[in-house]
Structure 1
């Protein structure tokens, strides 16, 4: 594992109790950062903290990203624990149920948008003022290749992730002279437990679109996010980094 220097930095990772978020938190702790895991699942947070505390300072906040007041409370909790916020990784998200656009339940559309797009906005709204006060920040938004290509039977997910890409570009421009860097990552399929929920036929279909002929690893996502969260990433903002094994139709 190549060393990325995040010593003395304080990072928030949303959806940090499992999957890609957990891997990102682990990599950041190994790189010297203190990490606050934000997640809606309090039980999973407790388990993650118990494991990750062996690597460094790990704090948790149970938070509903669809609620601005909940997010603001989590930000206050993080500041109370560490005194500052240097890094924000907006990782939390849901896939939603699959259906044709015209057959999608409007309530399901709203649910996916509330978590996947409103959530990152709420987090940026709460955290950016603290970064501006300190004159430093790194924000990494986890979008999806679906936000570029538009996956069939997943218009809500695709549209929400396209929104995350646009949010990244707008915020990056707004903060370009503030020493606060904002970038996005657009993964294809990453190997997590969510694959267990899919049919082998659907897994084979997704794999066929990846030229490397394999899915990404959580550790690969964590490595990219760690670099984007570091001081070494200093002249790249408002950018979108594919993590797709070569998949591209745009």
Structure 2
């Protein structure tokens, strides 16, 4: 069996109806995985432990976490905006890990892959809340990844931008001529990365072939023009 096959792997996908969730579930199943999609409100502090318990044994946790990106000016960011963004994209991470960790330790291996954003890697106007939350994900993965590596538990993150998905690039935005011009101006590829292209890379990182990567942040985007 190919090392990139996911046959026999049980993969829990959070927020399966949002962001990259639908295409991830589709591609992972095509690669042979038993996909366990979850659609519950991940910001509820009780949800992570409950959905992991309901899922049973987990080989891979795919933390697909997203909110519509706030665009407030820095002086206008409300306490609620900050709190709600972190409650969905940052606070669930340690809760999810603590829920899956005992089972992964018992079986002697495991994978955690976070679907993040490259907004944490580049300054963006009117994105302080969103970028801060995505940056917290990145730092958490780097720290946890090196801590758990000796236990054969790999934790990594995909930092994506300009990737086709319904949360950040719905059809109406993609059809907007101004957005199309922006792609030509800012993205060397001149297009969005395909949803399946991104999901196939995620599937690889969930496979045994990717066991050498720990605490890594993988940018996946059409490339930025430095400005």
Same-fold call, TM cutoff 0.5:
yes
Residues 1:147 and 1:86: Cα distance change in structure 2 (over 3 Å): same
Q: How many residues align?
A: 222
Distance 1:66 1:203 in 2: 34
**Which residues of 2 match residues 1-250 of structure 1 at below 5 A?**
4-39=4-39, 63-79=40-56, 84-194=57-167, 195-196=169-170, 198=173, 200-202=177-179, 204-205=181-182, 208-247=185-224
Residues 1:161 and 1:206: Cα distance change in structure 2 (over 3 Å): farther
Residues 1:202 and 1:125: Cα distance change in structure 2 (over 3 Å): farther
Question: What is the deviation of 1:20?
Answer: 1.5
Question: What is the deviation of 1:3?
Answer: 9.1
Contact preservation (8 Å) 1:149, 1:249: no
Q: What do the CA deviations read for 1:54-107 (whole angstroms, capped 9, x no partner)?
A: xxxxxxxxx22122312111111101xxxx100011112113321111111220
Higher relative contact order (CA 8 A, sep 6+): 2
Distance 1:37 1:233 in 2: 22
Cα root mean square deviation, aligned = 2.1
Contact preservation (8 Å) 2:15, 2:42: no
Contact preservation (8 Å) 1:3, 1:31: no
Distance 1:8 1:64 in 2: 27
Q: TM-score, normalised by structure 2?
A: 0.90
Q: What SS does the aligned partner of 1:165 have?
A: helix
Q: TM-score, normalised by structure 1?
A: 0.82
Q: Is there any run of 5+ residues in structure 1 with no aligned partner, and where?
A: 40-62
Q: Is there any run of 5+ residues in structure 2 with no aligned partner, and where?
A: none
Contact preservation (8 Å) 1:207, 1:215: no
Question: What is the deviation of 1:19?
Answer: 4.6
